[in-house]
Structure 1
């Protein structure tokens, strides 16, 4: 059985993290870079350096995956920007330019969320390479044995209903972390990643070896959305018939509200302990706070707290701009547009220098 590999990943100055690879090292340095990016939510392109014992443990560029041993230290080098050493550390104030949005650095990748944010709040964009999650211990053993048989004899595994159900359920749990409504292309990427990670699961007779897995994932996600709707998940509950206008109910299937390409927190849950009524009171209180001088920090705090309430109002009520502006005057400032966009899209918005 493959031994797990434990690595110390140096993300930046004063930021080192532990990464455990239960299946051992990937096949290439490119795959390892992608695993690190996905595990730690890094958006930039990176390369890696390792400590070479022949040169007093100095860091050298990593070109061969075989150079890495268990408990090795790897340093992340960012390729897109030479102005920063840490993708999660804001740029110095003088490097950002004199803009009203300079409090948001182009180097930030973490969303603006408070400790009271709902647990369902998403934090990352859909990954460029989907990483298949780990399965139950007995499932991993069965797949490892089947993968070995595939490499030796090209024998494909016909998974039992129990194993297939577990695989689909675990992958659906991973998909929902990024999207409740994955597109066909997204599901195709996931299915391809599955048969790449576990080649024994390729389907004989399928034109790409994974079309059946894609269809199964599509139905599994539909079942998961039904379950979440019953639990009151706002992102899927908004598409239930009771939440649609009467004139739209006859075409409910054609009016599914779901995120656009770049939207991440499209319809988040309310913060813990908050309801629509309590957030409405926060909105009313903010109408007086926004008129006070030197009160930006309180307005920002209340705007962040009411983000979910504001999003659900936009999606359900579809108000006119004038009405929405009268209810949320604080939103129509450069600073709050930047913050709200950061909450919605995760990626920060930087106002270009004039």
Structure 2
């Protein structure tokens, strides 16, 4: 396989992603075409490049020879600005913010937005506390630095103030956090204020971790009374008969979902959103109606998530209600709403980035697995880009000790074919069946390539809140935590080992 050309692209919202091309573009127009396609840019734009000759300032790109492999480009929207100083694209970005439908008072007073848009940070920031608490901590940290004295007589008011401050910071990311995330919070607290370290504890923060867990639990009880949907969905009256215990069947983010169960926009009700959903059934039958569908799908996102999470409908029934979702562009959009991460562009660019190292790792594998890998990868050097990607993905399944045939299989289209899991046929149609002797459901058709089908299947798992196929759990964990870089801190040993080898 040829070594891919990689650019770092700074998007309109300030985030960045990789742009991977099979060869260096021959002209600026060709580069613009790739950027527009992979980064899903809708508005007119220009590109700027980071010029090392002028202190890494960004200058307008006027000639393709001004850039080279692995350089940084920035997208600048060319749409005219409004009276308020925001371009139309900026206004669109603002309109999608979690505080769009809140009143100004609610935006400042609500402790947690109805749709948080911040993924869990790599480094947790410890906020400032009340003035008196910060002053006491400053003095105690100074004493610890001088003679190692720990602050053992923390009064209840001070401890409550610290936990409340941590709680408000945690709520920026969600109302449910994992044990590892709680540990990250209190570890950061101890690192910033070493005087709070606990004597007699191996880690130094066991009691703090328990106290934070209790604080979050009590706060969720308060949110449940208020009616926060992400919490009320787990109330006992909403659980089925066999799971009416607090710890059973908890519906919460488990794969780095940022907007897991948002509330309805302010001024919208279930009835008004249902009316929009019904109009969407007519809109999908109209040609060249993409923009109208896009706006309505954006607005009804909360209704869709509450149906998926709360009602857990059959896939066939959900597709009948939301046919607009089963489209490549809309799956990309839905995945980004849920995770804030671009789907197709990041998945494929990351796969291309790691392909060379993956091939080296695969070639070093011995035994029966090594022979299977050799068979899968035979002739890959002469493959086109998509064919090469397909072989790398198949080889990844083999390397993980899983069968590519459980994911990718060619078969005649027969609606009664028994299948146990989700599979992608070579005929470029994505089907799904949730059990043996259950009919196949065609989800997407006319897919350009098998790698694109892999991407769309991964996106649909998030959009439909499905579990990873049991027989392919390691492969999908690699997709999530290595390619998409989501929830990387909870990787299994096998995934962590492979990732470390890739990054050597």
Taking a change above 3 Å as real, the CA distance of residues 214 and 89 of structure 1, as seen in their structure-2 partners, is closer
Alignment of 1:300 with 2:294, yes or no, is: yes
* 1:113 equivalent in structure 2: 96
Q: How many Å separate the matches in 1 of 2:120 and 2:74?
A: 18
**Structure with higher helix content:** 2
* 2:196 equivalent in structure 1: 201
**CA drift at 1:190:** 0.7
- Count the aligned residue pairs: 273
- Equivalent pair of 1:112/1:339 in contact (CA under 8 Å): no
* 1:215 equivalent in structure 2: 210
* 2:139 equivalent in structure 1: 145
* 2:15 equivalent in structure 1: 88
- Equivalent pair of 2:101/2:267 in contact (CA under 8 Å): no
Q: How many Å separate the matches in 1 of 2:144 and 2:37?
A: 59
- Equivalent pair of 2:220/2:231 in contact (CA under 8 Å): yes
Q: How many Å separate the matches in 2 of 1:226 and 1:112?
A: 31
* 2:322 equivalent in structure 1: 328
- Equivalent pair of 1:187/1:217 in contact (CA under 8 Å): yes
Q: Which has the larger radius of gyration?
A: 2
- Equivalent pair of 1:101/1:334 in contact (CA under 8 Å): no
1:207-230 Cα shifts (integer Å, max 9, x gaps): 111111001101011011111111
- Equivalent pair of 2:9/2:74 in contact (CA under 8 Å): no
* 1:71 equivalent in structure 2: none
* 1:345 equivalent in structure 2: 339
Q: How many Å separate the matches in 2 of 1:98 and 1:88?
A: 17
**CA drift at 1:245:** 2.5
- Equivalent pair of 2:144/2:194 in contact (CA under 8 Å): yes
Query: Structure 2: any 5+ residue segments left out of the alignment?
Result: 1-5, 20-30, 44-72, 76-92, 103-112, 349-384, 387-504
- Highest relative contact order (Cα 8 Å, sep 6+), 1 or 2? 1
- Equivalent pair of 1:88/1:107 in contact (CA under 8 Å): no
**Normalised TM-score (structure 2):** 0.50
- Alignment of structure 1 residues 47-196 onto 2, 5 Å: 82-84=8-10, 87-88=14-15, 93-96=32-35, 98=37, 101=40, 113-114=96-97, 116-117=100-101, 119-157=113-151, 158-196=153-191
RMSD: 2.9
Taking a change above 3 Å as real, the CA distance of residues 125 and 167 of structure 1, as seen in their structure-2 partners, is same
**CA drift at 1:272:** 1.3
**Normalised TM-score (structure 1):** 0.70
**CA drift at 1:246:** 3.1
Q: How many Å separate the matches in 2 of 1:196 and 1:169?
A: 18
Query: Structure 1: any 5+ residue segments left out of the alignment?
Result: 1-79
Specify the SS of the correspondent of 1:316.
helix
Q: How many Å separate the matches in 2 of 1:330 and 1:107?
A: 32
